[in-house]
Amino acid sequence: MTFMTSARLTVAALLGTAMLAGPAAAQTTIRLAHHLQENSEQHLAATRLKELVEERSNGELKMEILPAGQLGGQREIIEGVQFGTIEMGFGESGLYANYVPGFGILTLPYLYTGPEHWEAVVTGEIGQTMVDQLEEATGLVLTNWMLSGYRDTYTTDRVIETPADFEGLKIRVPESPVFIETFAALGAEPTPIPFTELYTALQSGVVAAMEGTPESGMTQRMYEVTKHLNKTRHILFDGSFVTSRMFLDSLSEENQKILMDAAAEVARMQIDEQAAREADWFEKLAETGIEIHDVDPAPFREVLTPVQDAFAEDAGATDALAQIRELGAQ
């Protein structure tokens, strides 16, 4: 037997074995990016999602989590998902309002009576309408609704007790119309700055305040560059893992269902556990020495209710705002 004949027989044997074994399942990598640290609630939720998706797809889907702004700030991540340079990201209604103005009503100040009211809104007809409009306008698909929690005000040199205390305060806000209008109405100077640049902005005095959850204050070490945590509780905020219709359609129907079902399951766990974790974040913050101040929300609500009405009118969402208020009164 010649060398060439032997080689041909060997190749044939290998091909035969491969055919008997059947074709190998193709593996799809889903990169999920977010702007927060690895000890954040969002990263914990992403880790849970990764575990569920990889297990239930029998390895056909693999998830790679990219935290801490590795792929940019929130806006850059969402744009990357939209244009197909990344498969998934972490977004929120304030950002989606840049594409669908009506989304902004979901983050209006002092809108909800509590988490149960918020959940009834976002998982009901109002939230679904916003989700549908976002997909139609951008191709972005929300896979779930998560609860980021109440947002408070961190300051470097003043205590916030009344709306007048915001006068002239240069405060960092997300790149979101609702936040800008909210703090402008309080007399502050809202300054949009990417979250990844916030610590330095506070440290250098570019801004003298920020607003955010107790979690973000702790995980981003904002207690190092601020002195006061004022519990203004001004916005009850959502979060969501977002993908694109283009990417979803590239998956088999079975894997689409696995991804969406897992995202919904993760959201349920995250919402149910959020209050307990918020209490834990406050305990940790207290241990850092930052001064924590309770704030009466009533005068703030009075000043900011007109912001709700004006924003809803500009966004063509007055009916939705009325429905949200009605749900809260039930």
| CATH 3.90.700.10, applies to 26-329 | no
Of the candidates 329, 267, 326, the one whose C-alpha atom is nearest the C-alpha of residue 123 is 267
CA angle, 42 as apex, 31 and 279 as ends, to 5°? Answer: 170
Query: What predicted TM-score, i.e. pTM, was given to this entire model?
Result: 0.88
Bridge partners for 171 per DSSP: 190, 209
pLDDT of residue 159: 98
pLDDT of residue 308: 97
> How many whole angstroms separate alpha carbon 16 and alpha carbon 324?
64
Instruction: Output the CA–CA distances (angstroms, integers) from residue 167 to 19, 171, 186, in the order listed.
Output: 74, 11, 7
Quick one: which H or E segment has residue 80? helix 74-83
At residue 147, the 3 state secondary structure works out as strand
Of the candidates 297, 180, 146, the one whose C-alpha atom is nearest the C-alpha of residue 233 is 297
Contacts of 159 (CB under 8 A, 6+ apart): 165, 228, 230, 291, 293
- Helix (H) and strand (E) counts in the chain: 13, 10
Instruction: Output the CA–CA distances (angstroms, integers) from residue 53 to 90, 143, 256, 264, 280, in the order listed.
Output: 17, 13, 10, 12, 29
Return per-residue pLDDT of the chain as tens, 330 residues. 443 344 444 444 444 444 444 444 579 999 999 998 898 889 999 999 999 999 999 999 999 999 999 999 889 999 999 999 999 999 999 899 999 999 999 999 999 999 999 999 999 999 999 999 999 999 999 999 999 999 999 999 999 999 999 999 999 998 888 999 999 999 999 999 988 899 999 999 999 999 999 999 999 999 999 999 999 999 999 999 999 999 999 999 999 999 999 999 999 999 999 999 999 999 999 999 999 999 999 999 999 999 999 999 999 999 999 999 999 999
Can you read off the two tokens belonging to residue 205?
């005095």
> How many whole angstroms separate alpha carbon 73 and alpha carbon 93?
15
At 91, which amino acid appears? G
Instruction: Output the CA–CA distances (angstroms, integers) from residue 264 to 115, 171, 239, 313, in the order listed.
Output: 17, 34, 13, 32
Bridge partners for 240 per DSSP: 91
Long-range contacts of the stretch 71-80 (C-beta < 8 A, 24+): 71/33, 72/33, 72/35, 72/196, 73/35, 73/194, 73/195, 73/196, 74/35, 74/174, 74/175, 74/194, 74/195, 75/175, 75/194, 77/33, 77/34, 77/35, 78/140, 78/242, 80/33
> How many whole angstroms separate alpha carbon 34 and alpha carbon 69?
6
> What are the two backbone dihedrals, phi and then psi, of residue 87, each rounded to the nearest 5 degrees?
-85, -40
> What are the two backbone dihedrals, phi and then psi, of residue 293, each rounded to the nearest 5 degrees?
-120, 130
> What are the two backbone dihedrals, phi and then psi, of residue 32, each rounded to the nearest 5 degrees?
-115, 115
pLDDT of residue 15: 42
pLDDT of residue 7: 41
Of the candidates 174, 99, 111, 177, the one whose C-alpha atom is nearest the C-alpha of residue 139 is 99
